[in-house]
């Protein structure tokens, strides 16, 4: 089996569920294996974990052959979620992590703690962290590096606000975020990029397929500079922002879209599975 783990830190990228690229769908040999990731945000009590069981039930061999699944519950549920999903092939991730391994940072959770609880991914730089916690690219980059240090894959989120889109600055904003937020030693095994236009998150609005294609092409191009030409093709680039079963097929078919980061719809098993099911045809 060809390994994508080819450089230093990538050896610790324990998050790779199955190698993208040639080990993805033989019908699409040049595309990384898709990843459909759910971000529960600040939603979920212990009883919500039954949704995980429902998702596991719906993760049929047919779907498993087509796409990886990941759920990112709130930090309080990561440990239990990892137990519930053990052996299912569905990964568990954190929604954020601190840049430091440990210390006097009340209320924060380190990447090592997430890994210890059974997570294999950490979302970093989500627009809600950038907006409500003032996180800038340098901090996002430090958090992604912390994820790598702990053996997690970092899902680095980027995306423009409505004002930036209206001002025609989308590509510049996304380019700046990518250059500032992705640490050295990133590679397909430990890096996922999520393009999430801020104005599309939780609003029911989505960009056109052409707009998504334009931004994802830019991201792929930037990745060539950041991780190198050969590796860039295998980094998964997710689209996020109001993905639902009804629009998943169109959005996931766009060139350079290798999966979805799903917020609200990931709280309902049928909706999350309906989105992942877009890969079944």
Catalytic residues, by residue number, are: 126, 196
Q: What's the closest the beta carbon of residue 261 comes to ligand PEP, in angstroms?
A: 5
Q: Please say which residue, 21 or 240, places its beta carbon nearer to ligand PEP.
A: 240
Q: Strands, E, within 159-202: which ranges? A: 191-195
Q: What's the closest the beta carbon of residue 229 comes to ligand PEP, in angstroms?
A: 29
Q: Please say which residue, 19 or 238, places its beta carbon nearer to ligand PEP.
A: 238
Q: Please say which residue, 81 or 232, places its beta carbon nearer to ligand PEP.
A: 81
CA dist., res. 214 & res. 195, Å (int): 11
Q: What's the closest the beta carbon of residue 57 comes to ligand PEP, in angstroms?
A: 22
HSE, side-chain direction, 13 A CA sphere, residue 257: 27
Q: What's the closest the beta carbon of residue 170 comes to ligand PEP, in angstroms?
A: 17
Distances (CA, A) of 123 to 20, 23, 174: 19, 24, 17
CA dist., res. 163 & res. 149, Å (int): 35
Radius of gyration of the chain from its Cα atoms, rounded to whole angstroms: 17
List residues binding ligand PEP (CB under 6 A).
39, 196, 201-202, 240-243, 261-265
CA dist., res. 278 & res. 193, Å (int): 20
Q: Please say which residue, 84 or 248, places its beta carbon nearer to ligand PEP.
A: 248
Q: What's the closest the beta carbon of residue 3 comes to ligand PEP, in angstroms?
A: 30
CA dist., res. 237 & res. 220, Å (int): 8
Distances (CA, A) of 179 to 16, 218, 250: 23, 12, 28
Task: Say how many C-beta atoms besides its own lie within 10 A of residue 165's C-beta.
Answer: 18
Q: Please say which residue, 59 or 272, places its beta carbon nearer to ligand PEP.
A: 272
- H/E stretch holding 131 reads helix 127-132
Q: What's the closest the beta carbon of residue 29 comes to ligand PEP, in angstroms?
A: 28
Q: By Cβ distance, which residue is nearest to ligand PEP? A: 263
CA dist., res. 125 & res. 53, Å (int): 28
CA dist., res. 208 & res. 203, Å (int): 15
In the 3-class helix/strand/coil scheme, how is 251-264 assigned residue by residue? HHCCCCCCEEEECH
**Of the candidates 163, 145, 161, the residue with the CA atom closest to the CA atom of residue 153:** 145
Q: Please say which residue, 10 or 70, places its beta carbon nearer to ligand PEP.
A: 70
């Amino acid at each position: 089996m060809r390994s994508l783990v080819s450089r230093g830190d990538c050896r610790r990228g324990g998050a790779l569920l199955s190698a993208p690229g040639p080990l993805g769908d033989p019908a699409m040999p040049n595309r990384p294996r898709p990843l459909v990731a759910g971000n529960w945000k600040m939603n979920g009590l212990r009883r919500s974990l039954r949704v995980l069981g429902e998702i596991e039930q719906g993760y049929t061999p047919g779907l498993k052959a087509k796409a990886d699944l990941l759920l990112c519950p709130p930090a309080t549920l990561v440990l239990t979620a990892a137990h519930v999903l053990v052996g299912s092939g569905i990964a568990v991730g954190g929604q954020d992590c601190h840049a430091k391994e440990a210390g006097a940072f009340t209320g924060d959770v380190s990447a090592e703690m997430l890994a210890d609880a059974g997570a294999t991914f950490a979302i970093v730089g989500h627009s809600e962290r950038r907006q409500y916690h003032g996180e800038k690219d340098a901090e996002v980059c430090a958090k992604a590096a912390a994820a790598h240090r702990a053996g997690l894959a970092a899902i680095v989120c980027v995306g423009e606000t409505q004002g930036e889109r209206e001002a025609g600055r989308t590509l510049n904003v996304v380019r700046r975020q990518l250059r500032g937020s992705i640490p050295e030693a990133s590679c397909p095994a430990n890096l996922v990029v999520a393009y999430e236009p801020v104005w599309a998150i939780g609003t029911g609005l989505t960009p056109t397929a052409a707009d998504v294609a334009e931004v994802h092409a830019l991201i792929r191009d930037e990745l060539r500079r950041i991780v190198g030409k050969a590796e860039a093709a295998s980094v998964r680039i997710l689209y996020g922002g109001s993905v639902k079963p009804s629009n998943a097929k169109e959005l996931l078919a766009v060139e350079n879209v290798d999966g979805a980061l799903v917020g609200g719809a990931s709280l309902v098993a049928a909706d999350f599975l309906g989105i992942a099911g877009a890969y079944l045809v």
